[in-house]
Amino acid sequence: MLTLQDLHPAKGSTHKAKRLGQGPGSGKGKTAGKGHKGDKSRTGGGVRPGFEGGQMPLTRRTPKRGFNNYRFAKVFQVVNLDALEKKFEAGAEVSAEAMYNARVIRKKDIPVKVLAGGELTKALKVKAGAFSAEAAKKIEAAGGTHEVV
């Protein structure tokens, strides 16, 4: 049986750390293998990732093409139906304010999109910024209503 005190690394897999800067006799004294002066000899020295010695970096040299929707994209907080199932009683009116108070969403000012994750058995009156087609079907099937605000 293998016990905790029997555990040890495989033979030859561990090495002692090289002790740098321990005097001239060690062969790694004085500059400790870092050469003389310069950025890489200093503590924390070296250049940032992507730095090319002052040459215009590749990321800036390459042409940027195409359309980027980032600035104009509509951002939604997503809520699945199972979250509404857990937090609300049958017949309740579920608005962004109600979801915020029930801690289903984190922010009031970002619109909500309801997705079809999970099952819905209660009839709820759901008001949100957007609904997935499947979520709208499930809400209607449970006897509830959905309204885009």
pLDDT digits (tens, 9 = 90+) for 64-114: 999 988 899 999 999 999 999 999 999 999 999 999 999 999 999 999 999
Cβ(89)–Cβ(123) below 8 Å: no
Domains of the chain: 77-148 (3.100.10.10)
Amino acid at 44: G
Residue 55's SS3 state is coil
Query: Tens of pLDDT along 42-67?
Result: 999 999 999 999 999 999 999 999 99
DSSP 61-79: HSPP-S---TTTPPP-EEE
What's the confidence (pLDDT) of residue 54? 94
pTM, whole model, 2 decimals? 0.56
